[in-house]
Structure 1
């Protein structure tokens, strides 16, 4: 029996995805996880054929969950389904071991196509992501500054640039205020920025928010 695990903090999204999947795979066992911690517990305890996960969830991020899943079971296909535009996260998640990246605005048919492909052990890469991958190989020395940040630093950058306070980010990411402040300091140093206003301006200019 095909076993699919959906991880998303929005019930409506999970139920919608579940229905789409059951329409295509009527005999599949499709289960849900409301956050990354539940996702990881289920992955560690049970066998799955494919995981579909959001990136932005309370507590641990989908990126962190992806990395943990790959350490536990490198062969388990993980599809990332996110509201974030492909150019912001697609390359990062593929490098972290994801089998594919889809925007939540994608048609249901594209999701089904992606699942069929990753079940064969292949990557699902849209034409636009393929173009990004080719471009990143050609322009490795011309990468924008945010490309040099770690995944966690990049996540903090986006939250700071969107106007969130350090304390709010700490709550959202289940980190201490001190840890978030350390990430902020690293980001500022790596990108040669001085204030949050500079950071926000950079994010706007580079279409990160």
Structure 2
């Protein structure tokens, strides 16, 4: 069965071009297109209109990509969000990830990269191209020599694997069969070891260093 996709982009020509490209992907089909998040909310009122993946533009009128991603994360957490934008700045990237995007792709990407990105998004639950990971990781002040010296407990390694998921810290605690306070301790220890300040930073580190 084909996986379903919805395109949310206020540029009609781009949305139509994307639909035409995806039509050539044997494993995917486009259900419909929306011009902003508000329109998506209205269509999502019908259960059969909810897709596997939302290709989400960032800059849109009425309800932009940041707001739409956050709404999807809170109301439809099983829908995978792939941000599709011309913006490759770190601020937009981080904000989309925090708001629930599991993938980020530039609009100038080759169709083959789009198909590969969609496949990996569905297979792994996330897709970030090398440039995105490198952009995020650039602000982590750890040299390769320091990374080798860092020692992690088995429980810290297990916790790192959950940082990329949508699970809350309480839900992670349930998965790890411990208390939320213990999980917060793992988090704080990793913050200190890696000189990080956010869960996004931990998730990027986990992806970059093969913990996922």
* In structure 2, distance between residues paired with 1:85 and 1:15: 23
Cross-structure match for 1:32: 33
Deviation at 1:88, TM superposition (A): 3.9
Deviation at 1:17, TM superposition (A): 0.1
Q: Secondary structure at the match of 2:58?
A: coil
- Say whether 1:83 aligns with 2:86: yes
- Say whether 1:22 aligns with 2:23: yes
* In structure 2, distance between residues paired with 1:22 and 1:30: 11
- Say whether 1:131 aligns with 2:119: no
Greater share of helix: 1
User: Does the 8 A contact of 2:56 with 2:65 survive in 1?
Assistant: yes
Q: Secondary structure at the match of 1:84?
A: coil
Q: Secondary structure at the match of 1:116?
A: helix
User: Does the 8 A contact of 2:58 with 2:83 survive in 1?
Assistant: yes
Deviates more, 1:125-134 or 1:20-29: 20-29
Deviation at 1:12, TM superposition (A): 0.5
- Say whether 1:94 aligns with 2:97: yes
Q: Secondary structure at the match of 2:54?
A: strand
Q: Secondary structure at the match of 2:62?
A: coil
User: Does the 8 A contact of 2:5 with 2:28 survive in 1?
Assistant: no
- Say whether 1:122 aligns with 2:125: yes
Deviation at 1:27, TM superposition (A): 6.6
Structure 1's consecutive aligned runs of 4 or more residues displaced over 4 angstroms after TM superposition are none
| TM-score (structure 1 length as normaliser) | 0.61
Cross-structure match for 1:199: none
When residues 27 and 134 of structure 1 are mapped into structure 2, their CA distance, relative to the original with a 3 A threshold, is: closer
Deviation at 1:60, TM superposition (A): 1.2
